[in-house]
Amino acid sequence: MTSIRVAIAGVGNCASALVQGVAFYGGSSQAPDDGSLPAGLMHARIGEWGVNDITFSAAFDVDARKVGRPLEEAVFAPPNCTPVFQASLPGSGVVVEMGPVLDGVATHMADHAEARAFRVAACPSVDVAQRLRETKTDVLVCYLPVGAEQAVRAYAEACLEARVAMVNCMPVFIASDPSWAARFEAAGVPIVGDDIKSQIGATMLHRALARMFTERGVKPLRTYQLNTGGNTDFLNMLDRGRLQSKKRSKTAAVQSQLDVPLAPDQVHIGPSDYVAWQGDNKVAFIRLEGLGFGNQPIEIEVRLSVIDSPNSAGVVIDALRCAALARQRGIGGALLGPSAWYMKHPPRQMRDAEAQEATEAFITSQ
């Protein structure tokens, strides 16, 4: 495999950051003179592949502003609002095709101002599995909206049918569902999932603080994480009925770092509100309360501000190379180390140091 052929399901802000990032890091201009990694990358190479070995083979969406357009144009189409850090993109030869709608669009998405209003393209869905085979795709990255349970499963079925590896960035439980994981293993198809972490995001910071409490002898009492943002992800999540799996995923990611999980009414983690003017800027407010020596109170409050989509693209660019590496080695099923390191809701939660060690062992094993 000389390059990794990647298909994208959902050409939103995260896809825009990934496509821009492949072009941004694909040359040599970002390599520091001292031989260190460029800012934002965790690995220069995984297996035989650098960032410049990633190419795009197919893309699927349902928005009328994106379907039918070249991928390098669609990633900048409204309502995408992530910063443009790589304006010049090479021609991909990929035209965004109509994917299955199913439950991929929340009903309220059509009720907003023109730039945000969502219009489903008036054309039939393509056969995704057939297109994955025809385009010789190696890995599909799933970027569908939160709450698109049926639609994500449809793409998982297509990956199984086409024998294409999957990176499930969404909190729809595929890799972490034993029945789905068994199907991927039986088919010899690798999957990394579920629900992508950011490089330095609210979940990673919250996990580190929660673990610090436990390791330093502080008894955790209660915690919250409140997130606001102005991208389409936050707009979609105004429909609270679509948030059940997202809240489960984020909560489990933090609770897993405590020796004794907090009672459900003492932990609140999840999206909080949509603030249009924030755009792709995500702001998180984290608070932890605990008891230290002599039962004396310890409280921490943190505010984190990040550009949301590039923050996750730096993780996806590694996860998809791990998926390709497993495919090259003939490994099927959920990849436990990479899933625990790169995802919020993996098949098996690990402490971060353990997850990183397991991922490095996977990458370097023969």
Nearest C-alpha neighbor of 331 from the set 121, 201, 170, 181: 181
Judged against a pLDDT cut of 60, whether residue 28 lies above it is answered with no
In sequence order, which residues have a C-beta less than 8 Å from that of residue 365 and are 6 or more positions away? none
pLDDT at 84: 98
Q: Are 7 and 59 in contact (CB under 8 A)?
A: yes
pLDDT band at 245 (very low <50, low <70, confident <90, very high): confident
Judged against a pLDDT cut of 70, whether residue 286 lies above it is answered with yes
Kindly list the distances between the CA atom of residue 292 and the CA atoms of 20, 221, 263, in Å, as whole numbers in the listed order: 46, 11, 19
Q: What is the mean pLDDT of residues 256-268?
A: 95
Gap between the Cα atoms of 116 and 259, Å rounded: 43
pLDDT at 29: 57
145-155 confidence digits (pLDDT tens) = 888 899 999 99
Topology of the domain comprising 4-198+310-364: Rossmann fold (3.40.50)
pLDDT at 232: 86
Judged against a pLDDT cut of 80, whether residue 113 lies above it is answered with no
Judged against a pLDDT cut of 80, whether residue 348 lies above it is answered with yes
pLDDT at 188: 98
Give the homologous superfamily in CATH for domain 202-308: Dihydrodipicolinate Reductase; domain 2 (3.30.360.10)
Question: In the chain, what percentage of residues exceed pLDDT 90?
Answer: 83
Concatenated DSSP letters for 220-279? EEEEEEEEEE-SHHHHHTTSGGG-HHHHHHHHHHHHTTSSSPPPGGGEEEEEEEE-GGGT
Concatenated DSSP letters for 79-140? T--S--S---------B-EE---TT-S-GGGGSS-TTT---B-SSPPP-HHHHHHHTT-SEE
Q: Are 337 and 363 in contact (CB under 8 A)?
A: no
Q: Is 45 helix (H, G, I), strand (E, B) or coil?
A: coil
pLDDT at 246: 82
Which range scores top for mean pLDDT: 22-31, 101-110, 187-196, 268-277?
A: 187-196
Q: What is the mean pLDDT of residues 166-181?
A: 97
Q: Are 151 and 102 in contact (CB under 8 A)?
A: yes
Gap between the Cα atoms of 158 and 156, Å rounded: 5
**CATH 3.40.50.720 domain extents, the chain:** 4-198+310-364
Q: Are 19 and 25 in contact (CB under 8 A)?
A: no
Q: What is the mean pLDDT of residues 272-288?
A: 94
Gap between the Cα atoms of 91 and 110, Å rounded: 31
Question: In the chain, what percentage of residues exceed pLDDT 70?
Answer: 94
Q: Are 135 and 129 in contact (CB under 8 A)?
A: no
34-56 confidence digits (pLDDT tens) = 768 899 999 999 999 999 999 99
Cis peptide before 78 (omega within 30 of 0): no
pLDDT at 270: 80
Gap between the Cα atoms of 207 and 251, Å rounded: 10
**CATH 3.30.360.10 domain extents, the chain:** 202-308
For β-strands 4-9 and 139-142, DSSP reports them as parallel
Please tell me the least confidently modeled range out of 37-51, 107-121, 304-318.
107-121
Q: Are 117 and 111 in contact (CB under 8 A)?
A: yes
For β-strands 190-193 and 297-307, DSSP reports them as unpaired
Gap between the Cα atoms of 121 and 101, Å rounded: 10
